[in-house]
Structure 1
Amino acid sequence: MWVDGQKDRPVVLRPGFQSLKRMFTVFFNYSDPLVVDILPQDTAMTATYYVQNVLSQVKPAINEQRPKVSTSRILLLHDNAGPYKARAITRPLRVLHHPAYSPDLAPCDFWLFPILKERLAGRKFDRIQDLAKAVKSEPRTIPEEDYLGVFRKWQIRLKRWIESHGEYFEGL
């Protein structure tokens, strides 16, 4: 923040629980959440972490829910962050990367995270574990038809993106 030399500097609060940022990785399908992973504090999301700690939860969750469907037929939607483009991830999986800087094409960004923010707004959490528990449990309260609906909306958004030849558009 830039301040005029004549003005007092703003009060800066010491970092506390409320100022900590944590990364939540969420996988969901057409009916419910499959996996919610919370990146440990002071840990960077790397391809190694992602494969060993996140994807290692995804395949068993899919197999449990759909035992007769081969996981080789599963398509995962990732953003374009570096760890998700590593060969250790893209070789064994069918991965669809949405275009860079396109949160309007990511179902978590345009649908799930706004719902979670709304439902968790105003609630106080004394420990990060309590927040993590709420983030894991809230998606399970969303009706199945809402999950199915978001995939329909996603298809409409993708079609609109294709029709615009990847150019920015508004109005969704």
Structure 2
Amino acid sequence: MEWHHPTSPPPKKFKSSRSVKKVVATVFWDAKGIIHVDYLESQKTITGAYYADLLHRLRASIKEKRRGLLRAGVLILHNNALSHTSRLAKSAVHQCGFEELPHPPCSPDLAPSDFHLFPKLKEHLRGKRDAGNDELKSAVNEYLIGLPEEFY
């Protein structure tokens, strides 16, 4: 609602549109650095099946980058999104041999990616113009690889 004179023109309504250049990145990391980064195809959503497949790819990345970690045990902390709590995702967590840490609802202090990793990444990318999704992905990968271990 807004106050206006009866003879004034109607307010302009701006049409909002979805961003064409939206890229969704899923980043798995630990105290030593990045383990796996995955980019979702444009116009797709994260489903239980997609997330289950992603967990299997994460397991392969752990085998490659963190030898011995699977034997020591992997704790995974993700939020309570539907794709993370689906039967397929829960089954994939079990199949991969991961132990899932419970994430209380509405607990932003347990989202280190949202408050530590992504704000600094956004700050790094601010003001840069990209030619496309591939260039953006490579810029993100270069930034993440270039971070010192102390950052994590």
The corresponding residue for 2:12 is: 9
TM-score by length of 2: 0.80
> How many residues were matched structurally?
143
CA contact (8 A) 1:62 1:71 kept: no
Q: Secondary structure at the match of 2:138?
A: helix
Question: Cα offset for 1:72?
Answer: 7.2
When residues 94 and 122 of structure 1 are mapped into structure 2, their CA distance, relative to the original with a 3 A threshold, is same
Question: Cα offset for 1:103?
Answer: 2.5
Deviations 1:63-89 (A, max 9, x none): 112323335710111011011012332
Q: Which protein is bigger by CA-based radius of gyration?
A: 2
Deviations 1:121-147 (A, max 9, x none): 111112112112222221111110111
TM-score by length of 1: 0.72
Pairs within 5 Å for 1:49-128:
49-52=50-53, 54-70=54-70, 73-91=73-91, 92=94, 93-128=98-133
When residues 97 and 124 of structure 1 are mapped into structure 2, their CA distance, relative to the original with a 3 A threshold, is farther
Q: Which runs of 5+ in 1 are unaligned?
A: 148-172
In the alignment, structure 1 residue 129 sits paired with structure 2 residue 130? no
Q: Secondary structure at the match of 2:80?
A: coil
Counterpart of 1:131, as a letter, is L
Greater mean alpha carbon deviation, residues 66-75 or residues 79-88 = 66-75
- Alignment partners' CA distance in 1, 2:69 and 2:14: 56
- Alignment partners' CA distance in 1, 2:17 and 2:26: 27
CA contact (8 A) 2:32 2:149 kept: yes
CA RMSD of aligned residues (A): 2.4
Q: Which runs of 5+ in 2 are unaligned?
A: none
CA contact (8 A) 1:80 1:100 kept: yes
- Alignment partners' CA distance in 1, 2:27 and 2:106: 19
